[in-house]
């Protein structure tokens, strides 16, 4: 940030101040005072506006030294979360209407237990995200999830996905706190302007309708990662549900699914493996030419839920130079036999596990706020991120490692994905078409 402010300072201080001949000493002193005051005001505006949105106090009357250090670190370095389902809340509570609500207010009041809820087959999720809480939580960048129910598979998933994409574009345009980012450089530039860099992630390959053309169009709309599946299979990839069958499916990625991954590499779209089956994960890690992410998953060895990442896959992720972004959902943090609510320390255990097993370069944060109803104690909403960093500081984490966890690792992955895209610039778009025999002919119109 200093470089940005230096350029402003130079422009203001190197212009010569000329006094007219014959003025008294008092006149010159008075004019000089006015000039200094003017410069101070301009600098205050230039520097104070972005910094005002990054208050290091956190709003608390009393803070531990570790929390103060965490606040300062996140003020100066972007915290980039891999997954937030706020767009789904707009669908459920507001019928996709962005202009009917105000994210600058406490959304727990706006969206409450009395508010009509669109799809009651899903649990009601209390509001966990609004602009004041994002600011309190020091969020510098956010992947907003484009999620649509698996009930739309082979039906109208593409159209519904576009509706959700539109929601994100609308609220990013509506609020000055947000800025659309589609590149790694765009994230850092938005952060330096005091904005919350806003990125789009497509949570489920069912929303491309088995079409590489649709995938490309989502990219043009700003989507920068796609989760290959949600918790439902697509005809070209198995989801986590395959691991819960008896016996588990070992299909993984089909040949067409491999082309989906390669086209994502060519575009510069990050491959996300959260929600996928273990075999799909292994296949994608083998096929992808670029680093992959798990945008919101935790560690299987600490909580044996099928949505979490097993040690063998963690090792493959390291070989791929990818990233596992730890989820805060209580059922992915503390599993049977205790099934406890869990707390900040348990989340830190998952982060430490990845760090100790494969290295600090391969772990990040993807909390899954507004996507699940309950989180571990102490991490109930987006205002709470600094408490994770406070806990890790108590565990003797260095600033360098904390910066990597916060967003440095995601930026590194994004840049490497962009480098692979650049290396494939002479590769034509993949134009493979899914075998018509694999389509649901009752819900499609053929070619």
pLDDT digits (tens, 9 = 90+) for 72-124: 999 999 999 999 999 999 999 999 999 999 999 999 999 999 999 999 889 99
Query: Catalytic annotation on 85?
Result: yes
Residue bearing the bigger pLDDT, 228 or 250:
228
Query: Catalytic annotation on 230?
Result: yes
pTM assigned to the model = 0.87
Quote the pLDDT of residue 444.
65
Spatial CA neighbour of 387 closest among 367, 370, 413: 367
pLDDT tens, position by position, 29-85 = 454 444 444 544 444 444 444 544 566 555 555 889 999 999 999 999 999 999 999
143: Cα within 13 Å, side-chain hemisphere:
35
pLDDT level of residue 443 (50, 70, 90 thresholds): low
- Between CA 375 and CA 382 the distance in angstroms is 11
Q: Which of 66, 81, 85, 349 is catalytic?
A: 85
Q: Which of 30-34, 129-133, 247-251, 383-387 has the lowest mean pLDDT?
A: 30-34
Q: Which of 81, 83, 233, 390 is catalytic?
A: 83
Quote the pLDDT of residue 337.
74
- Between CA 126 and CA 207 the distance in angstroms is 26
- What average pLDDT score do residues 411-427 get? 99
Query: Catalytic annotation on 104?
Result: no
Q: Which of 258, 263, 275, 370 is catalytic?
A: 275
- What average pLDDT score do residues 316-344 get? 92
Q: Which of 130, 179, 203, 370 is catalytic?
A: 203
Residue bearing the bigger pLDDT, 264 or 56:
264
Query: Catalytic annotation on 83?
Result: yes
Quote the pLDDT of residue 438.
72
The structure tokens listed for 440 are 């649901």
Quote the pLDDT of residue 50.
54
pLDDT tens, position by position, 276-288 = 999 999 999 999 9
SS3 326: strand
Q: Tell me the domain boundaries of the chain.
A: 2-11+24-52, 67-423
pLDDT of 21 higher than 60: no
* The domain made up of 67-423 is a member of CATH 3.40.190.10: no
Query: Catalytic annotation on 275?
Result: yes
pLDDT level of residue 173 (50, 70, 90 thresholds): very high
- Between CA 208 and CA 204 the distance in angstroms is 8
Query: Catalytic annotation on 418?
Result: no
Quote the pLDDT of residue 14.
32
Query: Catalytic annotation on 169?
Result: no
- Between CA 313 and CA 362 the distance in angstroms is 12
Q: Which of 177, 179, 230, 350 is catalytic?
A: 230
Place of tokens 């006094």: 19
Q: Which of 66, 206, 272, 296 is catalytic?
A: 296
């Amino acid at each position: 940030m200093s470089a940005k402010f230096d350029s402003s300072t130079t422009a203001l201080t190197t212009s010569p101040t000329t006094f007219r001949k014959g003025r008294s000493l008092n006149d010159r002193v008075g004019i000089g005072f006015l000039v200094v005051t003017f410069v101070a005001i301009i600098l205050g505006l230039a520097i104070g506006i972005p910094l005002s949105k990054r208050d290091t106090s956190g709003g608390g009357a009393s803070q531990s030294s570790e929390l103060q250090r965490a606040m300062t670190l996140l003020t100066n370095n972007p915290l980039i979360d891999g997954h937030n389902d706020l767009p789904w809340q707009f669908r459920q509570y507001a019928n996709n209407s962005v202009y009917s609500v105000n994210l600058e207010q406490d959304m727990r009041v706006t969206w409450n237990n009395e508010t009509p809820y669109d799809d009651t087959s899903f649990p009601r999720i209390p509001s966990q995200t609004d602009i004041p809480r994002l600011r309190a939580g020091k969020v510098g960048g956010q992947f907003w999830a484009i999620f649509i129910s698996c009930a739309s598979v082979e039906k109208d998933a593409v159209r519904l996905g576009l509706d959700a994409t539109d929601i994100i574009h609308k609220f990013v345009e509506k609020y000055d706190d947000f800025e659309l980012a589609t590149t790694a450089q765009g994230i850092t530039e938005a952060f330096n302007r005091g904005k919350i860099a806003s990125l789009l992630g497509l949570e489920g390959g069912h929303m491309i309708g088995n079409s590489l053309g649709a995938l490309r169009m989502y990219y043009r709309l700003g989507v920068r990662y796609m989760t290959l599946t949600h918790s439902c299979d697509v005809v070209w990839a198995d989801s986590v549900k395959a691991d819960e069958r008896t016996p588990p499916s070992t299909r993984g990625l089909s040949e067409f699914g491999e082309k989906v991954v390669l086209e994502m590499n060519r575009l510069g779209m990050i491959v996300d493996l959260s929600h996928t089956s273990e075999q799909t994960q292994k296949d994608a890690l083998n096929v992808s030419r670029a680093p992959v992410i798990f945008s919101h998953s935790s560690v299987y060895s600490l909580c044996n839920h099928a949505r979490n990442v097993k040690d063998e896959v963690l090792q493959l992720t390291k070989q791929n130079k990818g990233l596992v972004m730890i989820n805060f959902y209580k059922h992915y943090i503390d599993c049977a036999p205790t099934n406890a609510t869990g707390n900040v320390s348990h989340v830190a255990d998952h982060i430490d596990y990845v760090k100790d097993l494969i290295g600090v370069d391969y772990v990040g944060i993807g909390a899954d706020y507004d996507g699940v109803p309950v989180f571990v104690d102490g991490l109930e909403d987006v205002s709470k991120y600094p408490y994770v960093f406070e806990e890790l500081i108590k565990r003797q984490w260095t600033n360098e490692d904390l910066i990597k966890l916060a967003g440095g690792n995601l930026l590194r992955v994004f840049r490497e994905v962009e480098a692979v895209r650049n290396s494939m610039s002479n590769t034509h778009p993949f134009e493979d078409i899914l075998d018509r025999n694999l389509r649901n002919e009752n819900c499609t119109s053929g070619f």
